[in-house]
Structure 1
């Protein structure tokens, strides 16, 4: 049997097709009540000048998670492990490998979904001419297959809010039920009945817990001071908070 050292000595990379691995990040946050995605303007070929999701090639000795967080940090001006990036929820979305998705070579990308409660105005990284937060309904005609990646990321985010408490990843450490409802409305793109939403949230064990404090912000139409809540210890929501259109479909 050929040893590893013998194989490496005889290995000729020219005998294998050139392939590469990248990461792309669907980074979502809420600004001025609208769900926004982080986009960059490509500063280099191919597709220079086109808007795209932040991403890039995975470096040697770098894990996929590390590459995704580095790319996100480069566009926000924050270093991984510090500041607002410490509160980012990051998860793998899926992989994409269409043979023609990149004109340079065969490129497989692993897409990530990031939820962030607040991130600063972005600044362009080394391979981007500009970067900005763009409302998701205005993010279209992106480079490569990023329209499809963004659509998959949005659907994952919307589904996550139905069955998990990750809506709190868009909120501060303390929030009102009204502020939580505004997050759901922004991500789902649907207005929600205030009373029904309040009742449903408090009926889910472990979703939120009261801080015992109140605040003047978030009150409904000048009413009494609103109660403040924090994220509870639930990992799944039971019963789930279904989107209104999905609720109608299961009746």
Structure 2
């Protein structure tokens, strides 16, 4: 007989995209106890025949209808507080995913609803109320947002939030959405254009603006992954 009580392993996924100029996260309304009626990050139990990443993609598809996308996915951290789940001892391997132009979700399996929420409306609303999330998902979301904010300083991750081809103003708006304030324009251009392989210019230009100014050059993502020295938040 084992001296150790059984426990389960789950995955939770903080999926970010930019919608209407704001950082948005995908949440599901739980249809079953515990926390029925509460909003939560998509996730669920890891099956015996799959690893954590496969479980994350499967749960995302089953609960929201969002199919695997060619964006960015990484492990955030492990959450293992003994009382984080009232059902039993549950350890969660949380993930962060992000991509541009993600579709509207459709609730499935045990989710009653699924929708995009502006992250600031969930965590830092002007009225101070916020959204009560199930389990420890508020802390996971706080950690996930900070992970993305920090990685935008020293990596080229921001380019994963824009669809190709894109303009530099579109890329700068990613920083504004994630950080809450845009980076200094001069420093932004120096970092992006001075980092070999951050962006690669194309031969095309964006649509003309009503102001009669020059059309912005279009870029695609390059092969670089780091920015050194980093682009520090204001």
User: How much has 1:232 moved relative to structure 2?
Assistant: 1.1
SS at match of 1:212: strand
User: Is 1:205 paired with 2:196?
Assistant: yes
Instruction: Verify the 8 A CA contact 1:24 1:68 in the aligned structure 2.
Output: yes
The answer for the alignment partner of 1:236 in structure 2 is: 226
**Aligned partner of 2:99 among 116, 119, 124:** 116
The answer for the alignment partner of 1:165 in structure 2 is: 156
Instruction: Verify the 8 A CA contact 2:42 2:64 in the aligned structure 1.
Output: no
The answer for the alignment partner of 1:28 in structure 2 is: 16
SS at match of 2:232: coil
**Contiguous gaps of at least 5 residues in structure 2:** 123-130
Instruction: Verify the 8 A CA contact 2:7 2:90 in the aligned structure 1.
Output: yes
Q: Rate the CA distance shift 1:144–1:124 in 2: closer, same or farther, 3 A.
A: same
User: Is 1:188 paired with 2:204?
Assistant: no
Deviations 1:47-90 (A, max 9, x none): 1001110010111201100001112222442443xxxx1x1210
The answer for the alignment partner of 1:71 in structure 2 is: 59
Instruction: Verify the 8 A CA contact 2:183 2:233 in the aligned structure 1.
Output: no
**CA-based RMSD:** 1.7
Aligned counterparts of 1:220 and 1:166: Cα–Cα separation in 2:
31
Deviations 1:137-188 (A, max 9, x none): 1123211100100000001001111111111111112100000000111011
User: How much has 1:237 moved relative to structure 2?
Assistant: 1.1
SS at match of 1:156: helix
Structure with the bigger percentage of helix: 1
SS at match of 1:179: helix
Instruction: Verify the 8 A CA contact 1:23 1:68 in the aligned structure 2.
Output: yes
**Aligned partner of 1:150 among 117, 132, 141:** 141
Residue correspondences, number: 226
The alignment's TM-score, normalised by the length of structure 2, stands at 0.91
**Aligned partner of 1:60 among 41, 48, 66:** 48
Aligned counterparts of 1:228 and 1:220: Cα–Cα separation in 2:
18
SS at match of 1:122: coil
User: Is 1:125 paired with 2:92?
Assistant: no
